[in-house]
A and B are shown apart, each in its own frame.
Chain A
């Protein structure tokens, strides 16, 4: 576990040994005819982390690394196969009990596509009001209306926009509406699943700045999921790197960019385009993420790792304390990987 957390304060979110297995078998009849066994996919494998109040933890990784699956499990859209999630010390068991409905007020999610995340048949004001009505945060209709207007103002839209339909807005404006909806039930914790990846670059910065301002204003805690390292650098206090469903490194954001420990983190950072023209040689990311149905033995990264040896092929690496955080790598543990200070 990350040693950077202070033991005095309980973290807002404690995730331990979170695992999600998907059944990807063919239909029963096909299996019988083709004599194939059932097939399972470990989309998320033994992931543990903590998020402290007010901080932003980013999860990064390639497509298929299990980022979104983690996000969905945290907000109850998917049930974990194994592992526990503690929200402010309380277990998240996704049923419709009184306690859980109370807990649901405290977390929200911002989705990837602002085009699919707003119901096209609903007016914007109704979309924003839904969480507070359903969760019973506000019951008086005049107060609901006033709060919707406030929220629209908070995300940089006007109160008159409430009576429009989503298709009358641009992608960036729609994402603002989605943010307003997420804030509607006054949550403390927001899961952001690639909130800017569907937007134009010019609009991305606006949305990211809005999210940071809101964090300062409202004291929000974010779990920020992205594949875009430049976005993550802008947003995160701490970064977790996912590879094939497993966390391979967690470190403070600045440290991670300065001195990445795990070879996979290095590979990702080496591939970031260098706008400052420092003359640093960019290296392409080599190879592809392996098939998670049949993952490589030992350290799942070994087929792509330039430092892999026999031990990496045999043994699954455990967490080791590093200079900057924690990493799961035999090479780091043995100290045989040359340190790579980034510019």
Chain B
């Protein structure tokens, strides 16, 4: 309880309240996250369950009763009769899950490597950071495609759909760790020379304990900002990969997969199959990005 009241009285919360953009972005993000979390209870049908689908409902227009079955779908249906609203909710789940997990993976990997590079210095530092530099010369999507291709080559076809999501997380995470490593390394270089670290060395603390207990907590501020901004990028990267057909499989469609499916019907007039997932993706990426931008400014002491 005390933590909550402390937060409500904090500088950060005051800045948040005073920024309408941040408030709106937060509300949109929260709505999307909540509806993704509670998708099974909100969605009118389960689009992953073929038994609940009726092919006769295919291509229903938004808000207009279907000519064969008389059912009405708020955002229309796709060619298989899947309710677009439901697929969006379930797709949002997958997009957010992949985005969150990929950022988590990148954050842990990048922070650990950055911490080791910054604290150890010397050859270890050089090796880790040169690998990071080399990776930065390739576009993230290319790296992700490469990892995806390798993973596809080594997994047996029968498992492909099951592991697709995890490969996606791995691919996006591995293409994104560099910036975490750089930021944490920079912060570590500053912190490791501070006297509180020397005080810990003096009593014989092991490097691992110093890194994790003393230095890491002091590098988390910038990491949090990057994690928020990376989340938006990871969601878009996931959508891009899925749009290219190498991401989430059609049996478990993410927002990107939905957009890929929808673009096939654009010219035949069924615009809703593409439009609504695209708008949802846009709203999600934009609001998370705006939140990240706001957080960066709010935590930047130079702008205070």
Contacts and interface: CB of A to CB of B under 8 A. Distances in A.
Interface in B215-257: 217-218
Q: Quick one: which of A75, A100, A116 has the most chain B CB within 10 A?
A: A116
Interface stretch (B37-45, B49-57, B101-109, B193-201): B193-201
24 contacts: A72-B198, A76-B202, A77-B198, A77-B202, A96-B204, A100-B204, A101-B204, A104-B202, A108-B202, A109-B198, A109-B199, A109-B202, A111-B195, A111-B199, A113-B195, A117-B196, A117-B199, A118-B196, A119-B196, A121-B217, A130-B203, A134-B205, A135-B203, A181-B199
Nearest to A77: B198
Interface string B166-209: 00000000000000000000000000001110111111111000
Interface of B is mostly: helix
Q: Which 7 A-B pairs have the closest CB atoms?
A: A117-B195, A111-B195, A121-B217, A119-B196, A116-B194, A116-B195, A131-B203
B296 interface: no
Contacts of B200: 130
Given A119-B218, A121-B217, A111 B204 contact: no
A76 B200 CA distance: 12
A121 B200 CA distance: 14
Interface string A100-132: 110010001101110011111100000000110
Contacts, number: 50
B228 to A, nearest CB: 20
Interface of B: 194-196, 198-206, 214, 217-218
A118 B204 CA distance: 17
Contacts of A135: 203-204
A77 B201 contact: yes
A178 B195 CA distance: 11
Contacts of A116: 194-196
Contacts of B205: 134
A96 B203 CA distance: 10
Contacts of A96: 204, 206
Given A77-B198, A96-B206, A135-B203, 9 more contacts: A77-B201, A117-B194, A117-B199, A119-B214, A119-B217, A120-B218, A121-B218, A178-B199, A181-B199
A185 B200 CA distance: 13
Nearest to B197: A119
A131 B194 CA distance: 17
Contacts of B206: 96
A134 B203 contact: yes
Contact of A111 (B198, B217, B218): B198
Contact of A134 (B194, B204, B218): B204
A185 B194 CA distance: 21
B203 A185 contact: yes
A119 B216 CA distance: 11
Contacts of A111: 195, 198-199
A119 B199 CA distance: 10
A293 to B, nearest CB: 22
Nearest to B209: A134
Contacts of B203: 104, 130-131, 134-135, 185
Q: Quick one: which of B194, B214, B217, B218 has the most chain A CB within 10 A?
A: B194
B122 to A, nearest CB: 12
A253 to B, nearest CB: 27
Given A116-B194, A116-B195, A121-B217, A75 B204 contact: no
A135 B199 CA distance: 13
A163 B196 CA distance: 18
A334 B204 CA distance: 48
Contacts of B214: 119
Nearest to A75: B202
Interface in A70-108: 72, 75-77, 96, 100-101, 104, 108
Contacts of B218: 119-121
